[in-house]
Amino acid sequence: MREVMTGNYASAYGAKLARAEVIAAYPITPQTSIVEKLADFVTTGELKAQFIPVESEHSAMAACIAAETAGARTYTATSSHGLTLMHEVLIWASGARLPIVMTNVSRAMAPPWSVWVDHMDSIAQRDTGWLQFFCQSNQEVLDTIIMAYKVCESSGIMLPAMVIMDAFIQSHTSEPVDLPDQELVDSFLPPYSPDLKIEVGKPMGFGSLVKPDQYMEFRYKAMLGMKAARDRVLRVEREFKSIFGREHGGLLERYECDDADVVLVAAGSVAATAKDVVDSMRAKGHRVGLARIRSFRPFPHDEIRALAGKVEGMAVLDRSYTFGAAGAMFTEARASAYSVQKRPVMKNYIAGLGGRDITPRILERIFEDIQVVSRRGAEDEVEWVDVAGLQRRWR
């Protein structure tokens, strides 16, 4: 069944179709309509779940952790300040090896206050041990939530996943979304059945104190889980495609990259705009392509490396900035490309912070710039795009 809906509703439907059993959530703009919709589903009985209206995001995640430890499939959703308030318990969730799935509507951090899109909130959680999927469309949001449960609940993975969409551009923008049949989703995603859960009669401690001669092994095993997630994401998506007829690009979606001289690497909704720009530039004879980072954690190192071996220039667009370094997508992509014999010229473009539009014209300028610098070598490794008082060419 196809319906026109916002990214937020697509998210709520994703959690419903995945049959989340416990939902704990706290409202924050622009995530609120996810929680409202789920509260509706639970109230009307359309979704048989326990809804915990917690008093903070920290408690939302702490409640999900407890419920998931007791064997329930859990879901929550948040944004920006809510996500960063959760930071401590995000690390707890992955350390406890709990396959919680959460939507983050990526939004800028204050000050100054901003409710618009920016990836700083999500990027700031990159070391928490969560899988992180950046989505481009509302359909992808829904599909990724369902797939994320299947990826993460595997006994070899057992890590939580964050499904990320852009504030307002996706959360509040309506698109046609195919709602898969519940029976099909059920056949794809069986009920959550962990090997271990907290229950009476089994006096185990979950999260006990360990000595220095034991701690590293826990982190090592989590690392193995994240590593195994690379293949798992691809296999689950293949199975998803065989049932639902759709796919979203694995870890790194490549668009017109096969014969490209230069490519743009980006994540989130801007990728949709960039695809249009690729089409229009190709029509004018430019061999350009787009590589969309769909999975930021695990990072598509192999895919970026393979791509880096084929192109002359690689522009990496970051919708956040890591102070004292560069954009996080850029530093990761450059690390991936390091072992390539003939490395492309790589340049980082910081753009679209705090909801500033990244227009087709700006993307075209980025493509043109990377074409020029790939011929003569990069002048600046990192350039801030469309900032008042800086280079006029962006305006």
Partner 1 sequence: MMGKPTIPEPEFTFPGSTGCPGCGANLVMRYLLKGLGERTILSIPACCWAVMPGYWPSNCLKVPLLYTAFEATGAAMSGLRAALDAKGIKDVTIVGFAGDGGTVDIGLQAMSGAAERRTDGIYVMYDNEAYMNTGIQRSGSTPWGAWTTTTPVGSTHGFKHEAKKDIMAIMQAHRIPYAATVSVAHPEDFIKKVVKAREVKGFRFIHAMSPCPPGWRMNPMHIVEVARLAVDTHAFPLYEIENGKVRITRKGKGTPVSEYLKFQGRFSHLTDAEIASIQKTIDENWQMLLAKETSGT
Q: Which positions touch partner 1 (CB under 8 A)?
A: 21-22, 24, 49-50, 52-56, 58-60, 62-72, 74, 88-89, 92, 198-211, 214
CB of 363 to partner 1, least distance (A): 42
202 three-state secondary structure: coil
Residue 24, beta-bridge partner list: 52
Place of tokens 């309506």: 174
Task: Tell how strand 50-53 and strand 101-106 pair up.
Answer: unpaired
Cβ partners under 8 Å of residue 131, min gap 6: 148, 151, 152, 159, 160, 161, 162, 226, 229, 233, 295, 297, 298
Q: Least distance to partner 1 from the beta carbon of 207, Å?
A: 3
Nearer to partner 1, 68 or 140 (CB): 68
The CA distance from 236 to 232, in Å, is 6
Closer residue to partner 1 in complex, CB, 60/105: 60
Please, what is the minimum distance in Å from the beta carbon of residue 154 to partner 1? 20
Residues paired with residue 289 on neighbouring β-strands, in sequence order: 263
Amino acid (1-letter code) at residue 229: A
| Cα–Cα dist 261/94, whole Å | 39
Supply the minimum distance, in Å, between the C-beta of residue 82 and partner 1.
Answer: 14
* Closer of 53 and 190 to partner 1 (Cβ): 53
Nearer to partner 1, 186 or 239 (CB): 186
Question: 217 and 45 in contact (C-beta within 8 Å)?
Answer: no
Return the closest-CA partner of residue 100 out of 181, 202, 24, 187.
24
How many other C-beta atoms lie within 10 A of the C-beta of residue 175? 16
Nearest approach in angstroms of CB 111 to partner 1 is 23
| Listed residue (55, 266, 271) closest to 169, CA to CA | 271
Helices 212-244 and 87-95, axial angle in degrees (round to 10): 90
* Distance in angstroms between the alpha carbons of the first and the last residue of the chain: 43
| Residue closer to partner 1, measured from CB, 199 or 380 | 199
| Beta carbon nearer to partner 1, 206 or 384 | 206
Of 201 and 389, CB closest to partner 1: 201
Residue closer to partner 1 (CB basis): 15 or 141: 15
Minimum separation from the CB atom of position 144 to partner 1 (A): 24
Distances (CA, A) of 388 to 29, 347, 394: 27, 21, 10
φ, ψ for residue 258, nearest 5 deg: -55, -45
CB of 311 to partner 1, least distance (A): 45
Residue 206 C-beta: closest distance to partner 1, Å: 5
**Three-state DSSP class for 25?**
strand
Rounded to a whole number of angstroms, the minimum distance from the CB of residue 232 to partner 1 is 25
Q: CA 91 to CA 88: how far, in whole Å?
A: 6
CB of 19: closest distance to partner 1 in angstroms?
Answer: 10
Q: How far is the CB of 15 from partner 1 (least distance, A)?
A: 14
Residues 6+ away with beta carbon under 8 Å from 148: 101, 131, 133, 161, 163
Angstrom distance (rounded) from CA 144 to CA 248: 9
Which CB atom, from 220 or from 338, has the smaller least distance to partner 1?
Answer: 220
Closer to partner 1 by CB, 37 or 73: give it.
Answer: 73
Tell me the three state secondary structure of residue 383.
strand
Tell me if 393 sits within 8 A of 365, measured CB to CB. Answer: yes
Q: Which CB atom, from 54 or from 382, has the smaller least distance to partner 1?
A: 54
